[in-house]
Amino acid sequence: MTPIARIRERFLDFRSRLYNLHDLAAVDDHLHPEFSSHSANVRPLLEAARSSGASHIDVRPAYKEFVKTFYTGLPDLKPVHQEVLVEDEGLMAMTQWEATHTGVFFGVPATGKALHFSTADRYRLQDGLLVEHWDVVDALEAWLALGIVVRPGAA
């Protein structure tokens, strides 16, 4: 297996274990202890973990807490289509997700509605682990389904 194929397979293993199997140990196996994220959803949790003042903080427990919000609100969340591109020490994943909203998610009580959204995630790798993250989340259809956003002109 080529190094690029190995990186791709490790990333798909990370996603499968985390979202299909709800295996939080995947975070320890795939995220670097100094993991950082530029995501508006993830960054506040990681910054809170680092605010203790210690010189070296492992933020993986905070990342696990972030993932648990999905287990609570969208327990059947799964990536239904993933395109993963690997180049040098970087990885890009374009993903289409689907889930059923059966629990509180970002403060919204369960609706039972099917949700669909897409993400574009960019990762930097270090020592074979995910160490830095950026993302773009297209959740408009999910927010419409939940009633968080209403189309202009809708009754």
In the chain, % helix, strand, coil (3-state, to 5) comes to 35, 35, 30
Q: Which of 57-61, 97-101, 104-108 has the highest mean pLDDT?
A: 97-101
Q: Mean pLDDT for the chain?
A: 90
pLDDT digits (tens, 9 = 90+) for 116-131: 999 999 999 999 999 9
What is the percent of the chain with per-residue pLDDT over 90, rounded to a whole number? Answer: 64
pLDDT digits (tens, 9 = 90+) for 73-91: 999 999 999 999 999 889 9
pLDDT digits (tens, 9 = 90+) for 2-43: 999 999 999 999 999 999 999 999 999 999 988 988 888 777
Q: Where are the extended beta strands (E) located within the chain?
A: 31-37, 78-87, 90-100, 114-126, 129-138
Q: What is the mean pLDDT of residues 133-146?
A: 91
Higher pLDDT, residue 56 or 1: 1
Are 131 and 34 in contact by the 8 Å Cβ rule? The answer is: yes
